Amino acid sequence: MNNFTSLIYDHLPRPFQTLGINVFELDEWAMRKTKRFSQSLRFLQSTETWSEEKILDYQNEHLRNIVKYAYEHVPFYHELYKKKSIDVGKIRTVQDLEQLPIINKNDVSKNWDRFISTKRERYIIRSTSGTTGHPLTIRISYELDIIDKANSYRRDLWGGYNGRYIARLVGDRPVKDCSKDPLYRKSYVMRRVIFPSYCLSLEKIKTIIADMKKLGVEYLQCYPSTGYFLAKYLESADEFLPLKAVFYSSEPLYQYQRNIMEERFSTKLFGYYSSAEEVVSAVECEQGNYHLTQVDGVLEIVKDGKVVDAGEKGFTVTTTLHNYAMPLIRYELNDYTGVLKDDCRCGRKLSLVYPVETKKEDFVITSDGRLISPSLLTFPFKDQKDIIESQIIQKNADSILLRIVKNDSFQQQNENQLIHSMREIVGTEMTLKIEYVNNIHRTKNQKKRFVINELGENYFERQIL
C-alpha cells in the first residue's frame, strides 16, 4: 500500500480493514487461478526429473537469447560490451559467461534508466529490502514474476500445504497500533491470518500465540527471526504450538534456530531462497536440502574474482534467463553459498546449494584481519536459553556491539559466559560491549540482520584482496 492508502486504512474500523485486505488479495487469488500460473507450476514440477544435460541445454538456449537481446535493446549492455570489444555471438553456453564483466548493485543504481529495455515489455516493480542500506527498484517481466510466484507455491506444496489457514509474520502491516487487540486481520480470500511482525515483543508475544491457537492455524509463514522469536518464547514457557509445516524465507536460518523451531512447532521447516531481483531461487525439500530452480537463472559461485568448482563456497553472481524488462547479466548478488556435488534422497534431480549464510557485507572483520561468518557467531548464543533475540553490530575495526533481548531469568553469569564464548571466536583484541534492549532493529520490511557490519564494502574488499 502507498502512504495515502495506508493513512485511509489506518482510520477504518476493523471490519472495513478486513474487507480492504481481502479486496487487495483478490489479485493474487485471481493470478493463482490463471492458466499461466498452472502452466508455470506444472513446468517447474516437470524439471524436478530433468537430467543435468537437459537443464544445461535449457540454460544455454535461453542464455543466448537474453545476452543477444540485452546487447540489442538495453543501452547499458550495448555500450559496455562494445567498449570491451565483446562479441555476444560467442556467448553460447554458461561456461562462456566468464567472458562477460560482472556488474553490481551500484552499476544498476547509477545507470538505472539505461538498464531498461527499449522494447515494450510487460512488467511489475520490485524493490530490494535495503538490508545493506541501499534499496533498489527493479523491473521484472510479468511472465518471470508468475514463475517466481509459482515456485514459491511449489515450496508450500513440498511442505504438504492443504489449503488450510496460514499465520503470517513476514512484514505485513495489518494494524497500526500494537496496543490494541486483536493484532491480526484475516484474509478469507487467501486463507491467511496476518500478524504484524513489528508488534513482536515480550509484552505481546503471549497474545499472538494465544490467537494462533484459538484460530486453529495449521501452518506458519515467517522470517527465521520472527519464527525463532515465537519458538524461543514457547521454550521459555515450556509450551508447544504443533503445526503441519513452517515456511520461511528472506533471512538466513541458523541451525540453533532450526532446532528450537522444529522442537516447539513439532514439525519440519521448508525454506525458499530468492531475491527481489528474481535472478536465482532455490526450494528446500523435506530432507532439508535446497534445490536450485535452474530454469529462472544461471548461478555462478565466485571467490577472489574467479568462478569456483562445485563443493566450494563463495559469493553469488547471477544471470537472469527470462527478465527481458530489465536484464541482469552476471549480477553480483553477493550471497554466501556454494553448489553441492551431492544427490538428494528426496529423488529430485535439481542441483543442491548450501543454505545461504549471509551476504558479503555481513561478515565480522577482526582487528587482525580475519573474516568471521555469522554462522560461526551463532555458537555463543546456542546454549543461552534466557536470550530471546540478539544482534551483532560492528561499527569499527576493533569493537563489536552485542544487542540482547533477555528474559527475567538472565543473570550476570549468563553475560560472563556470552562474553567468554565470543572472545574465543573473535579474539581478545576485540572490544565487546553488550546493550540490553526491548526489541531488535529491523528493516522496513521487518527483516532482521543477525550481523550488521558498518565498516563498508571498501573495507571488506581490502581485507580479502
Task: List, for residues 89-147, the tens digit of each pLDDT value.
Answer: 999 999 999 999 999 988 999 999 999 999 999 999 988 754 444 568 899 999 999 99
**Cell numbers describing residue 58:** 535449457
Map residue 195 onto helix, strand or coil: coil
pLDDT at 159: 97
Question: Which tens digit of pLDDT belongs to each residue from 175-220?
Answer: 988 888 999 999 999 999 999 887 888 788 899 999 999 999 999 9
Alpha helices in 349-402 (DSSP H): 374-377
pLDDT at 131: 45
pLDDT at 241: 97
Q: Which domains does the chain have, with CATH numbers?
A: 3-31+160-267 (3.40.50), 34-152+274-353 (3.40.50.12780), 361-464 (3.30.300.30)
- Higher pLDDT, residue 45 or 372: 45
Question: Which tens digit of pLDDT belongs to each residue from 43-93?
Answer: 999 999 999 999 999 999 999 999 999 999 999 999 999 999 999 999 999
Per the CB < 8 A criterion, the answer to whether 306 and 269 are in contact is no
Question: If pLDDT is split at 50, 70 and 90, which confidence band does 456 have?
Answer: low
CA nearest to 459, candidates 394, 375, 392, 378: 394
Per the CB < 8 A criterion, the answer to whether 228 and 260 are in contact is yes
pLDDT at 429: 85
Calculate what percentage of the chain has a pLDDT beyond 70: 91
The DSSP letter of residue 359 is B
Distance set, CA 344 to CA 273, 289, 291 (Å):
17, 7, 9
pLDDT at 460: 47
- Higher pLDDT, residue 333 or 323: 323
Q: Give 299: exposed, middle or buried? Use CB within 10 Å, 0-12, 13-18, 19+.
A: buried
> How confident is the prediction for the chain on average, in pLDDT?
89
- Phi/psi of residue 454, each to 5°? -100, 15
Across 322-347, average pLDDT: 94
Alpha helices in 84-236 (DSSP H): 105-110, 142-158, 205-215, 224-236
**Cell numbers describing residue 118:** 527499449
**Cell numbers describing residue 370:** 580475519
- The strand pairing partners of 186, in sequence order, are 193
The DSSP letter of residue 99 is G
Encode 333-370: b = buried (16+ Cβ within 10 Å), e = exposed: bbbbbbbbeeebeeebbbbbbbbbbbbbbbbbbbeeee
Question: Which tens digit of pLDDT belongs to each residue from 269-301?
Answer: 999 999 889 999 999 999 999 999 999 999 999
pLDDT at 197: 84
pLDDT at 356: 83
CA nearest to 338, candidates 303, 381, 385, 304: 303
